[in-house]
Chain A
Amino acid sequence: QSALNQPPSASGSLGQSVTISCSGSSSDTDFYAFLSYYVSWYQQHPGKAPKLLIYEVSKRPSGVSDRFSGSRSGNTASLTVSGLQADDEADYYCLSYSGSNTWVFGGGTKLTVL
């Protein structure tokens, strides 16, 4: 079984930056290859559908603010939110492809903007 571990909470002040980590673990070595390429990040406000922020580790869809950036180091992917705004307060999830048309989400991180 594959799993993605995120911190349950994160916080930052208006205008500052915050980074959310997403660490992968699996008994299947192929998962780590998928983690290298197929990590995406989603923002979800209460009562709303998730919104794609980052795909393929670090690519941003058109229309997504460049304040959101993604990166990876080893088995850990990260999402950085720069210039924090009040509307950035939401839940953030990482997602990785885990092979054979299956996917796994991280547990989610609740971001609080102070």
Chain B
Amino acid sequence: QVHLEQSASGVTNPGASVKVSCETSGYTFATYPISWVRLAPGQGLEWMGWISGGDTKYAQTFQGRLTLTADTSTATVYMELKNVRSDDTATYFCARTSFSNYFDIWGRGTLVTVSS
């Protein structure tokens, strides 16, 4: 069945970069884009960006700090956030994006804690 497996949670120092992976399985990887969403403590869900093949789109909030990449050989998508701050502490989710613009399958989430 369709599954998105995310990398383990971790702690990152302020100013560093964090990279989260999302390994997909159970469907043809190239057929569906992947979106990234985060949930910060006390906040709501926030759409971060989208990747489809070699195309990417980022929310304005993350322009210049967010990079999404894909490895088609392993059907894995990566989310890298640079120069992290304490308010980047959040659970980051990858989600398969359907043709009708909804997110049908989600990863379990990766908690990133920014702390020195």
Contact = CB atoms under 8 A, between A and B. Distances in A.
A56 B57 contact: no
Nearest to A56: B100
Interface string B94-116: 01001011111011110000000
Contacts of B100: 37-38, 55-56
A105 interface: yes
Contacts of A49: 93, 106-109
B101 A38 contact: yes
A97 B93 contact: no
Interface in B1-59: 33, 35, 37, 39, 44-47, 50, 52, 55, 57, 59
B104 A108 contact: no
Nearest to B44: A108
Interface string A68-86: 0000000000000000000
Interface residues of A, number: 26
A49 B107 CA distance: 7
Contacts of A102: 47, 50, 57, 59
Interface of A: 34, 37-38, 40, 42, 44, 49-52, 55-56, 61, 91, 93, 95, 97, 100-108
26 contacts: A34-B101, A40-B101, A40-B102, A49-B108, A51-B106, A52-B102, A55-B100, A55-B104, A56-B100, A56-B102, A61-B104, A91-B44, A93-B44, A95-B45, A97-B101, A101-B33, A101-B52, A101-B57, A102-B57, A103-B47, A103-B50, A103-B101, A104-B47, A105-B37, A105-B44, A108-B44
